[in-house]
Structure 1
Amino acid sequence: MHRGSCLCGAVSFRLRSEPKAVSNCHCTMCQKQHGAAFATYASLPKSDLEYLSGQELLTSYHSSGRVVRKFCSVCGSNIEWSGSEKFPDWVSIAVASFDTRFDPKSVKDIHLDSRACWLQRSEGQG
């Protein structure tokens, strides 16, 4: 069972099942929300996500259509997103928020059409 928390520790959670899908999302919304080239998420049924503390501190943002992103209102850590039309009963958890070791068998890169142009540069290139 995996556990996780936000940066300040106010929000904590545990997963009751092993995530089924892991992806590096390169969409511009994930780039902006994380301030990074991509965000890595692990998906599982919503019923298998249990908040242990701080659920009342989560702030929701409707980023597009039915998609709702949740983050800690104290420290700003991204925790989850849900609302996929294809998988309405699933939630995607930010892997970087896990406190336990998570070593997925595979990670899929998605939305590569908006991949950061500087991501593939090797050291020393300008």
Structure 2
Amino acid sequence: MSEIKTYHGACFCGAVQLKVTGEPEAMGYCHCEDCRHWSAGPVNAFTLWKPEAVEVVQGADMLGSYHRTPASLRQWCRSCGGHVLTDHPGMGLVDVYAAILPGLTFEPALHVHYQESVLHIVDGLPKMRDVPAEMGGTGETLDE
């Protein structure tokens, strides 16, 4: 019988702590303008989990949230401003930023929203125009 894995993460100051259980549904890189602005970087590394796999174990009262679109509820620590997670209700998944899960081996499988890319990455991974069809996108891929 295999053991269920648990990973722990925290915001920048540690006031908000979470744990995720099992394995992510997907891991990759997002190039959309919203993620780029939110992360203040040219690309955002994501890990997507089923909501029941994500638990805020400390500091839930310290989480601030912002709803720019109905597709994403972004949450951060109100003490340090550290980004923690984004709920994607339409996909039924929660993005826990790869950078805050130090124990998780990040194994990206694809790039999403690559048509908005400002940093082109040649790594052999599929480059999706938006997102895979099973996640509500076109499923169309672009050249590296």
Structure-2 residue corresponding to 1:98: 101
Structure-2 residue corresponding to 1:124: none
Would you say 1:74 and 2:74 are equivalent positions? no
Answer whether contact 2:10 2:18 (CA < 8 A) is retained: yes
Q: Closer, same or farther in 2 for the Cα pair 1:112/1:16, shift >3 Å?
A: same
Give the superposed CA RMSD.
1.6
Would you say 1:8 and 2:5 are equivalent positions? no
TM-score in terms of structure 2 length: 0.74
Would you say 1:108 and 2:103 are equivalent positions? no
Gaps of 5+ in 2: 1-5, 122-144
Would you say 1:31 and 2:33 are equivalent positions? no
Q: Residue 114 of structure 1: CA displacement? A: 1.1
TM-score in terms of structure 1 length: 0.84
Aligned residues: 116
For residues 46-98 of structure 1, give each alpha carbon's deviation from its aligned partner in whole angstroms, at most 9, with x where no partner exists. 0111111111111110021242111111111111111342x23x211101011
Counterpart-to-counterpart distance in 2, 1:45 and 1:62? 20
Gaps of 5+ in 1: 122-126
Answer whether contact 1:26 1:110 (CA < 8 A) is retained: yes
Q: Residue 101 of structure 1: CA displacement? A: 3.7
